[in-house]
Amino acid sequence: MSGALSMVAPDPTGGGHVPVMLAEVLESLAPRDGATFLDGTFGGGGYAAAILSAAGCTLYAVDRDPDAIARGAALAARFDGRLRLVEGRFGDMESLMAARGVERLDGVVLDLGVSSYQIDQGERGFSFRTDGPLDMRMEKAGPTAADLVNTLPEHEIATMLWELGEERHSRRIARKIIAARGDAPFETTLQLAEAIHMVMPRDPSGMDSATRSFQALRLRVNDELGEVERGLEAAKRLLAPGGRLVVVSFHSLEDRIVKRFMREAAGRMPGASRFDPSALGPATARHATKPAEFRLLTNNALRPSSAETTTNPRARSARLRAIERLAA
């Protein structure tokens, strides 16, 4: 959930998931009576409960983790049919909504990554701090992280660590993984973390040296960046005029995708590179883009307050961006 899993601190309330930037999310989404919203990342239901309490609206709450959906039943009972739980991926929100007869939404919120529930349960295999099976699947289906590290060729492991973990020592770690799995396949999170620690220098910032590799594996196992791209495009098509899209991301790879998508939707392309031949031309042509369908509600990403990061360090890397569909 963060650029670094090390950002995932123990829940200050001693259990569950503390919603991040909740006040800012509510203000950006602006729930109103009679409207229909979608929370694509239900998690512990922190946003869902707040949205449903703020207005007499209906909320479709999607999560790909069957445990999150099962936990949501108690919350659904509290809101008299206004909370509709949907197991699935937000990247598939169009078909999930079509199957329920919903063609238009007044708002979509995405709070990317994993929840504290997932991180704190060793048996889900997300954390390098707690021993557990090397799993990392949000959906509990498909290939596990162990399957990947035990079967991918060395160059693919290195590329994954470099591209999805921004790990400078990707080749060194990939080499170590290949050597170690020759002795015995990886089965647990601590086995992998220890192998990485053996070849990595201590990080001066105090960040665990396995952080970036674990992030890369988690993103790959769950195709998280692909999901973000599909989810943003689907939300764009589903939002009614005046409808809002609010996204909270936790690392630069996600935020880069969200920022670019929102700027394009608002008719503002990022500045062209002077190394890009297509950028050679009049300034107007260089920045010409499709007509705006949305307006930016956040010119720059909103960041959590220092009061929030003090009580919930997991919020430290959060960035919130939002857009609103223009009237037709």
Beta strands in the chain (DSSP E): 36-39, 58-63, 83-87, 105-111, 239-249, 294-296, 319-325
Told to check if 125 binds ligand SAM by CB under 6 A, we report: no
Contact by Cβ (8 Å): 120, 256 = no
Told to check if 247 binds ligand SAM by CB under 6 A, we report: no
d(CA 231, CA 109) in angstroms, rounded, equals 10
Told to check if 308 binds ligand SAM by CB under 6 A, we report: no
Contact string (CB under 6 A) for ligand SAM, positions 187-226, x = contact? ----------------------------------------
Q: 12 or 241, CB closer to ligand SAM?
A: 12
Task: List the one residue from 29, 57, 59, 68 that touches ligand SAM (CB under 6 A).
Answer: 68
Task: List the one residue from 52, 59, 62, 245 that touches ligand SAM (CB under 6 A).
Answer: 62
Provide the 3-class DSSP secondary structure of residue 326: coil
Tokens of 280: 């050679």
Binding to ligand SAM, residues 93-122 (CB under 6 A): 111, 113-115
d(CA 123, CA 110) in angstroms, rounded, equals 25
Listed residue (228, 266, 246, 244) closest to 23, CA to CA? 246
Told to check if 60 binds ligand SAM by CB under 6 A, we report: no
Q: What strands, in cross-sheet order, belong to the sheet with 36-39?
A: 83-87, 58-63, 36-39, 105-111, 239-249, 319-325, 294-296
Q: 117 or 186, CB closer to ligand SAM?
A: 117
Task: List the one residue from 2, 6, 36, 41 that touches ligand SAM (CB under 6 A).
Answer: 41
Enumerate binding residues for ligand SAM (CB under 6 A): 1, 17, 19, 40-41, 43-47, 62-65, 68, 89-91, 111, 113-115, 138, 227
